[in-house]
């Protein structure tokens, strides 16, 4: 259930929604952090759900946190017609279907024009065809495919390849396979069934320092949505949030030596 920070809930009609899947390397969440921080998006509410592991912490986007953050919060920019749902904790294993149903219901009731799910998948479980070219892939539900498939083809985007259901035995039956992707496949299939315009943008990666993967995912997304102006020369000026300074802990205490 969406809970607004204001007495009157904001209207998301016609907005683009971006949200991460809690997946390998947490790349989607890191990419959402970059978008929220770079675009200075204010918080407009949170998602209250028993499907997520509870969390309360400091505001990750402020040098001097004045408010607490929770498991799933919504940030928005009306001038950009953009909303980002940042999910900070895993979905409980017994509640994945319920959470997907909640998300799809909120997307439909809010009348978002399209949804983009940022995700990742285990690099070591790619098959031969997925080893070719870029590590970035996408999926489109039928309603969005009708609108943007040609644009993405012009950008040179690669659709996520289906893999053999019985590798080494038969290649006749193909299936969608997103190992390490969390709710990615399930939410994509739900949106296909419900005719929700949604794109999945994912990167093959491994656990470790996944900051470069997050930058690559944001740059890839920005080539399509043009959220941040690209300079004529040099990289896109993504701004990292203050919380990233402690992404790998606070370092070794000098008193140990």
Task: Give the global pTM.
Answer: 0.93
Q: What are phi and psi of 255, to 5 degrees?
A: -65, -15
Q: What are phi and psi of 58, to 5 degrees?
A: -75, 160
How is residue 180 written in tokens?
A: 């390490």
Q: What was the pLDDT predicted at 174?
A: 80
How is residue 241 written in tokens?
A: 């949030």
Contact (Cβ atoms closer than 8 angstroms) between residue 180 and residue 125: yes
Q: What was the pLDDT predicted at 170?
A: 63
Q: What was the pLDDT predicted at 168?
A: 65
Count of residues for the chain?
257
How is residue 111 written in tokens?
A: 């009348």
Q: Is the dihedral of CA 141, 144, 149, 155 positive or negative?
A: negative
Q: What was the pLDDT predicted at 182?
A: 96
Distance, CA of 229 to CA of 132 (rounded, Å): 30
Averaged over successive runs of 10 residues, the pLDDT of the chain (257 residues) comes to 89 97 96 97 95 93 84 96 97 96 97 97 92 94 95 95 76 86 97 97 95 97 95 90 82 71
Using alpha carbons, select from 109, 114, 40 the residue that is nearest to residue 78: 40
Distance, CA of 25 to CA of 209 (rounded, Å): 8
Instruction: Count other Cβ atoms within 10 Å, centred on residue 108.
Output: 13
Domains annotated for the chain, with CATH where assigned, are 13-247 (3.40.50.10900)
Q: What are phi and psi of 215, to 5 degrees?
A: -65, -40
Q: What would the 3-class secondary structure string for the chain be?
A: CEEECCCCCCCCCCCEEEEECCCHHHHHHHHHHHHHHHCCCCEEEEECCCCECCCEEECCCCCCCCCEEECEEEEEECCCCEEEEEECCCECHHHHHHHHHHHHHHHHHHCCCEEEEEEEEEHHHCCHHHHCCCCEEEEECHHHHHHHHHHHHHCCCCECCCEEEECCCEEEEEECCCCCCCCHHHHHHHHHHCCCCEEEEEEEECCCCCHHHHHHHHHHHHHHHCCCCCCCCCCCCCCCCHHHHHECECCCCHHHC
């Amino acid at each position: 259930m969406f809970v607004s920070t204001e007495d009157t809930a904001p209207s998301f009609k016609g907005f683009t929604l971006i949200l991460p899947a809690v997946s390998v390397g947490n790349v989607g969440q890191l990419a959402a952090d970059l978008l929220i921080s770079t675009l200075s998006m204010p918080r407009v509410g949170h998602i209250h759900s028993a499907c997520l592991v509870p969390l309360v912490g400091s505001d990750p986007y402020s040098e001097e946190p004045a408010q607490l953050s929770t498991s799933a919060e919504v940030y928005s920019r009306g001038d950009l017609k953009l909303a980002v749902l940042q999910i900070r904790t895993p979905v409980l294993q017994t509640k994945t279907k319920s959470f997907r149903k909640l998300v799809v219901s909120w997307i439909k009731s809010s009348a978002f024009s399209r949804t983009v799910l940022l995700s990742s998948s285990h690099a070591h479980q790619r098959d031969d065809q997925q080893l070719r070219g870029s590590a970035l892939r996408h999926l489109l539900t039928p309603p969005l495919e009708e609108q943007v498939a040609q644009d993405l083809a012009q950008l040179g985007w690669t659709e996520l390849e289906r893999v053999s259901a019985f590798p080494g035995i038969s290649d006749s039956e193909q299936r969608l396979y997103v190992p390490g992707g969390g709710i990615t496949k399930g939410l994509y299939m739900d949106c296909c069934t419900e005719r929700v315009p949604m794109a999945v943008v994912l990167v093959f990666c491994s656990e470790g320092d996944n900051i470069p993967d997050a930058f690559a995912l944001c740059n890839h997304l920005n080539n399509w949505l043009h959220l941040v102006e690209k300079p004529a020369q040099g990289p896109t000026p993504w701004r990292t949030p203050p919380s990233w300074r402690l992404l790998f802990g606070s370092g070794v205490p000098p008193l140990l030596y």
